[in-house]
Amino acid sequence: MKISEFTEAELESRLRCGALLLNLGPFVARLNSDVVSIARDIALMYADFHTSPENTFADFHVKVALDTGLRRWAKPQVRFYFDGRPSFIPLPADQAFAMLEWGLNWCVAAHSHQYLIIHAAVIEREGKAAILPAPPGSGKSTLCAGLVNRGWRLLSDELALLDMDSDLIYGMCRPVNLKNVSVDVIKQFAPAAVFTASVPDTTKGTIALMRPPVDSVQRMNQPACPAWVVLPKYTAGASPQLERHSRARTFMLIAEQSFNYDIQGSRGFDAVGRLIDQSQCFQLTYSRLDDAERVFDDLLAGRIE
């Protein structure tokens, strides 16, 4: 059953008794929450996602719950629980959905060493995937959000799951996390895109999440074969420039941006090596999404050697 087939009241009651099992590509997350806004945001962001029956194995049992006590009435806070154990510091209640998203990212990154997990956005078109690894602030989520509104398929805006046996990349196609001015940039660039309400004053600034495109969600279980590694670099006012990036440096960057490279040992080393061998590596400096879109079209058409 799809999330959009539930009424909001049904979602709320399922969340309350921890009976909402959300399919996220390779994983199933069992969600529990008494926060009303989470039901609303799930209905909005995960509308096209499928759920699993209650007797399904869940990879991650997570809960976002309001803290009890007097505080609940004055300045309510929410806390994230991984299988009953509180994790992370509590956040103001209006950040509940963002906390669920960040918590789910942590669950995957900390427990899924069957993959090499790279901190990167991944998009795909015509069977070819582009990996956009980047330290925070380089504009990878903005670029990713822009391109998936122009025909590219979203695999992930945050976690690339590299299967080291097949060398294919898996994604979860979850909502795209946008910060500060990026929210308005994408709203202008893609007026049809659907967003959560903006939440001010988070540790990452003002954030909003963007609903993943329907087509990407429908193809969530299809992995993609990496063809490019592109390091985005947003520079105000810059004209678009795509430069070759040294393979050695790209290798090191992927290793640094991986959450579990150290755990994978030589398997991880070999897998990143193959990934770099089979991909063209670039750095893209850009200031306008339209320019970036053209560059990616050129890459796809093979107009760039």
Q: How far is the CB of 26 from other proteins (least distance, A)?
A: 8
Q: Is 112 in the site for other proteins (CB under 8 A)?
A: yes
Contacts of 168 by beta carbon, 8 Å cutoff, 6+ apart: 162, 223, 224, 225
Q: Is 304 in the site for other proteins (CB under 8 A)?
A: no
Choose which of 7, 56, 166, 221 interacts with other proteins (CB under 8 A). Answer: 56
Choose which of 71, 113, 249, 294 interacts with other proteins (CB under 8 A). Answer: 113
Q: Which lies closer to other proteins via its Cβ, residue 21 or residue 292?
A: 21
Q: Is 68 in the site for other proteins (CB under 8 A)?
A: no
Q: Is 111 in the site for other proteins (CB under 8 A)?
A: yes
Choose which of 28, 36, 43, 300 interacts with other proteins (CB under 8 A). Answer: 28
Query: What is the contact mask toward other proteins in residues 237 to 276, using x (rule: CB under 8 A)?
Result: -------------------------xxxx-----------
Q: Which lies closer to other proteins via its Cβ, residue 149 or residue 264?
A: 264
**Would you tell me which residues interact with other proteins (CB under 8 A)?**
28, 55-59, 61, 83-85, 111-114, 262-265
